[in-house]
Amino acid sequence: MTSPHMYRYDEFDARFVAERVEQFRSQVARRLSGELTEDQFKPLRLMNGLYLQLHAYMLRIAVPYGTLSSRQMRKLAHIARKYDKGFGHFTTRTNMQFHWIRLVDVPDILAELASVEMHCIQTSGNCVRNVTADQFAGATAEEIEDPRPLCEIIRQWSSLHPEFVFLARKFKIAVGATHTDRAALQWHDMAVQIVRNDEGRTGYLVMAGGGMGRTPYVAHVMKEFVEREDILAYLEAVLRVYNMDSRRDNIHKQRIKILINTIGVEEMRRRVEREFAELKAMGTLQLPAEELARITAYFAPPKFETLPDAMPQGDAAFENWKKTNIHAHRAPGHAIATITLKAIGQVPGDISADQMDAIAGMMDAFSVGEIRVTHEQNLVLPHVRQKDLPAIFARLQALDLATPNSGLITDIIACPGLDYCDLANARSIPIAQTIAKRFADLDRQHAIGELKIKISGCINACGHHHAGHIGILGVDKKGVEFYQLLLGGSGAEDASIGQIMGPGFGEHEIADAVERVVEAYLIQRHPGERFLDTYRRIGMAPFKAAAYREMEAA
């Protein structure tokens, strides 16, 4: 069933995606016939989410702003079974990746996706990537409004935008609408925060210039308040300045963060304002209130049953799951349930076809046919009744998906790393698995509290290591995998860039080093203080001393 609370393609969207499938079918045929060289084919396939990796092609499917219907989830399960090895992988861009794809199958896979209103457009390449949002959108009472209508408007505007499909580098946009930032807004090339001004009017705060990679930056505020009808004109103005003025001579210096930090944010604002004024005067990109209302109507909240707030009680396992994986919902008697894809020892973000099908059934039974993908590689049932939680928990337990660790030290983000990716210098997955096993004891996890570990297998930082409370970066040192520790990063509203501790650790030392850092925290912390706050209070030195202590003794 298609969720009635999310965007649905009309005949224009459907034809757009269908024609795009046929276009790519012809591009694949030209590649297979030799008319296109791999060098010429590369940007075309990348714009359709197709990478050539270590062992096979990898196909990345867009999950716009992380929202999936049960029908779409079943289609992903089907693709996993028919065209891959029976599983898929959710990414930090809230997309799904399949790692064992054959080139000849890709046009058919795209056609299957189109049949459920999905595509791979711009999931890679130097263009505007999948727009991401708060996974609690439409379900949390904290938000000013649901950010997804704006995401959908941005998705359409940025789809095959003729001016911006050959940008200097990739360009990532996120939208949030709450003070609590669950979408890592400040780490994006551009981000929109829905805000209310002093007069009580709703509008948009726009940030730009955040990004990870080898030169991490937290975004600058570009404009405190953009009127609703002007938002596309403003976003286009930023992209235009970026497209015209970015360097093109050094791939490592071509993200918008480098441009802004080279010319300065004041100069960037000045250039953007000039384009913005022109676009506003032209008027063609103005967003009329009726159009915003039309898109917003697709996301109309479900009619929530009138229920009392009455959280069910259960055994210790259920209570532990509730403690971390259940969040407050806007409607009384309801809850938001996080399903972490982080069972101890599993690959972060991986999910089997059978699990996908079973979850699709749960989406229909418990959450108006809808689910969200999070940038932390988890899933969220956004609209569940509190009284259904025991049944949900029992079904998740049977699927090995009831791991009670959302936000805890074993809820680790990791990129695919050297197990799959030909850019990687080191493996990420086995490190995540080893650390999760080390801290598997749940009482210990609760004693440690909120602690976000993020692991990347190379400097490109797909595993968000710069934003981890504890970040781990895999490096290659003369053919041997080493791991650097970073402390003090944050991807939340208190965004900060993690600092490198010192020399790297070997594959068999890194979990010990993390454990010594955590032990140092437990000794140093004030009551109720998170790891991140202890680090910010006492700095690197005590942690560094602890991490290297055993190594020096040895």
Partner 1 sequence: MTKLIKDGAFAQDDFALLADDAPLPEDGGALVSLARFQKERDSLLARNAPIGVKLQASESPELLGVDVNRLSLIALEFPRFRDGRAFSWARMLRTRLGYQGEVRAVGDFLYDQINYQHRVGFDAWSVPDDFTIEQFHRALQEMTDVYQPSADGRKTIRDLRALR
List of residues contacting partner 1 (CB under 8 A): 10, 12-13, 15-16, 19-20, 22-23, 26-27, 40, 43-44, 126, 156-157, 159-168, 240, 243-244, 248, 278, 282, 284-285, 291
Q: Indicate the residue among 15 and 537 with the shorter CB distance to partner 1.
A: 15
Q: Indicate the residue among 246 and 484 with the shorter CB distance to partner 1.
A: 246
Q: How many CA atoms lie within 13 A of 320 on its CB side?
A: 17
Q: Return d(Cα 31, Cα 230) in angstroms, integer.
A: 42
Q: Indicate the residue among 117 and 370 with the shorter CB distance to partner 1.
A: 117
> In whole angstroms, how far apart are CA 226 and each of 174, 222, 240, 265, 350?
16, 10, 17, 17, 39
Least distance to partner 1, CB of residue 6, Å:
18
The H-or-E segment that residue 212 falls in is none
**Core vs surface per residue 6-19: b (16+ CB within 10 A) or e:** bbebeeebeebbbe
Least distance to partner 1, CB of residue 165, Å:
6
Least distance to partner 1, CB of residue 154, Å:
11
Least distance to partner 1, CB of residue 161, Å:
5
Dihedral sign computed on CA atoms, order 488, 489, 490, 495 = positive
Q: Indicate the residue among 46 and 335 with the shorter CB distance to partner 1.
A: 46
The H-or-E segment that residue 535 falls in is helix 531-538
**In this structure, are residues 343 and 71 in contact, taking their beta carbons and an 8 Å threshold?**
no
Q: Return d(Cα 188, Cα 5) in angstroms, integer.
A: 27
192: left (phi over 0), alpha (psi -120 to 50) or beta: beta
Q: Indicate the residue among 106 and 429 with the shorter CB distance to partner 1.
A: 106
Least distance to partner 1, CB of residue 434, Å:
39
Least distance to partner 1, CB of residue 270, Å:
15
Q: Indicate the residue among 157 and 548 with the shorter CB distance to partner 1.
A: 157
Least distance to partner 1, CB of residue 75, Å:
24
Residues 6+ apart with CB under 8 A from 75: 112, 113, 115, 116, 118
Residue 491 tokens read as: 């991807």
Q: Return d(Cα 296, Cα 308) in angstroms, integer.
A: 28
Least distance to partner 1, CB of residue 259, Å:
13
**Among 519, 506, 522, residue whose Cα is nearest residue 547:** 519
Q: Indicate the residue among 2 and 23 with the shorter CB distance to partner 1.
A: 23
Q: Indicate the residue among 15 and 477 with the shorter CB distance to partner 1.
A: 15
